[in-house]
Amino acid sequence: MDADAPCCTKSLFGDREVCQPRFQVGDVAVCEACATFAVPEGLGEPVVTTPLKPFACGIATLAASGLCADVFHATAPDGCAPIDGEAALQKAIDQQRAAPAPNAPKVARVLQRCRATRAAHEDAALLNDVRGLLPLDLLRARARARSEPVPDGDDKAAAFAAATARHYGSASPEPSDALLRELANYFKGPQFFTWVKAPPCPRCGGKTEGAGPGTPTEEEQRKLANRVELYRCPCGGEARFPRYNCARTLLFESRTGRCGEFANAFVPCLRACGFEARYVWDSTDHVWAEAWSVEQKRWLHVDPCEKAVDRPRMYERGWGKKLACILAFGRDEVVDVTRRYTRDVGACLARRDESHGWHAAPESCVASAVAAADALARSL
The catalytic position among 121, 167, 286, 356 is: 286
Residue 167 a catalytic site member = no
Residue 259 a catalytic site member = yes
Q: Are 348 and 336 in contact (CB under 8 A)?
A: no
Measure the CA–CA gap between 184 and 277, rounded to whole angstroms.
13
Q: Are 73 and 8 in contact (CB under 8 A)?
A: yes
The catalytic position among 303, 305, 356, 365 is: 303
Measure the CA–CA gap between 349 and 155, rounded to whole angstroms.
52
Other Cβ atoms less than 10 A from the Cβ of 102: the count is: 17
The catalytic position among 19, 137, 259, 344 is: 259
Catalogue the active-site residues.
Answer: 259, 286, 303
